[in-house]
């Protein structure tokens, strides 16, 4: 086994975009700490086997990213087993539906606890460890196209992904002098199980409230097709590299041309 390029933590790594990122970073030469919640253990173990087959080390670290003690332990375990933290990918997130008029406060709070507090905690404890190590690092979060342009009926999810951009910009300004860059990726529609479920749930949510399903706002991009998890993983691969040292505080769109900013 060759010397690793470093160690990367990927949250929400059991499937979809998180899985693709973990596998791509393993191909790039990183040892990988794979995180998700307990019910995803079987999927995580499968990803770990795939990474080991690539000649890299992998460790599964179960944690709820919204719980501070669990995030702290996730970082400590990664350092103990793999020797450090060089890249943090705060990918874990959840989505909920709801308009301004119908917003469910409990669901709103749960969405923010994972998407915003979870991202903050990953940034916080990864940055502390990177500063302690003294060799810089890369911190990368998950925003969304709806974190750049609001979409009706996504009041909690959309606003939480706007918040990730704010966290990323503020953290980039604070951590740059430590050699740590902080960026996030903002995907559009990506072919994942989450997207399929999202479409089904949104149509069901619309019908339950007596709305015409045809009223669902469709998002059309310039290229005319959905992306894949590997499309996002390739962007993360570059942001995690040494070559990306001069890019920080950015929210990189990968949406086929939906948000042209």
What are the residue numbers of the active site?
157, 161
Q: Which helix (H) or strand (E) holds 141?
A: strand 137-142
Residue 63: phi and psi, rounded to 5, are -165, 145
Rounded CA gap, 204 and 74, in Å? 36
The rounded distance, in Å, linking the Cα atoms of 238 and 159 is: 27
DSSP 4: P
In terms of phi and psi (left: phi > 0; alpha: psi -120 to 50; beta: otherwise), the region of 60 is beta
Closest C-alpha to 186, from 254, 248, 118: 254
């Amino acid at each position: 086994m060759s010397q690793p390029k470093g160690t990367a933590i990927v949250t929400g790594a059991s499937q979809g975009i998180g899985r693709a990122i973990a596998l791509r970073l393993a191909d790039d030469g990183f040892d990988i700490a794979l995180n998700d919640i307990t019910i995803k253990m079987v999927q995580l173990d499968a990803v770990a086997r795939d990474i080991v087959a690539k000649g890299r080390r992998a460790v599964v670290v179960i944690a709820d990213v919204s719980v501070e003690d669990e995030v702290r332990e996730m970082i400590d375990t990664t350092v103990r087993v793999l020797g450090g933290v060089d890249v943090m990918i705060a990918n874990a997130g959840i989505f909920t539906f709801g308009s301004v008029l119908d917003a469910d406060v409990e669901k709103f709070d749960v969405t923010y606890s994972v998407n915003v507090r979870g991202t903050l905690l990953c940034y916080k404890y990864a940055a502390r460890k990177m500063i302690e190590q003294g060799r810089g690092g890369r911190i990368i979060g998950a925003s969304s196209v709806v974190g750049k342009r609001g979409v009706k009926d996504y009041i909690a999810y959309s606003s939480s992904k706007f918040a990730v951009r704010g966290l990323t910009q503020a953290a980039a300004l604070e951590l740059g002098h430590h050699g740590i860059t902080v960026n996030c990726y903002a995907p559009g529609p990506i072919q994942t199980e989450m997207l399929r479920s999202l479409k089904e749930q949104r149509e069901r949510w619309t019908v339950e409230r007596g709305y015409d399903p045809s009223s669902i706002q469709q998002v059309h991009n310039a290229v005319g097709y959905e992306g894949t998890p590997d499309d996002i993983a390739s962007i993360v691969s570059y942001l995690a590299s040494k070559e990306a040292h001069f890019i920080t505080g950015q929210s990189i769109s990968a949406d086929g041309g939906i948000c042209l900013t």
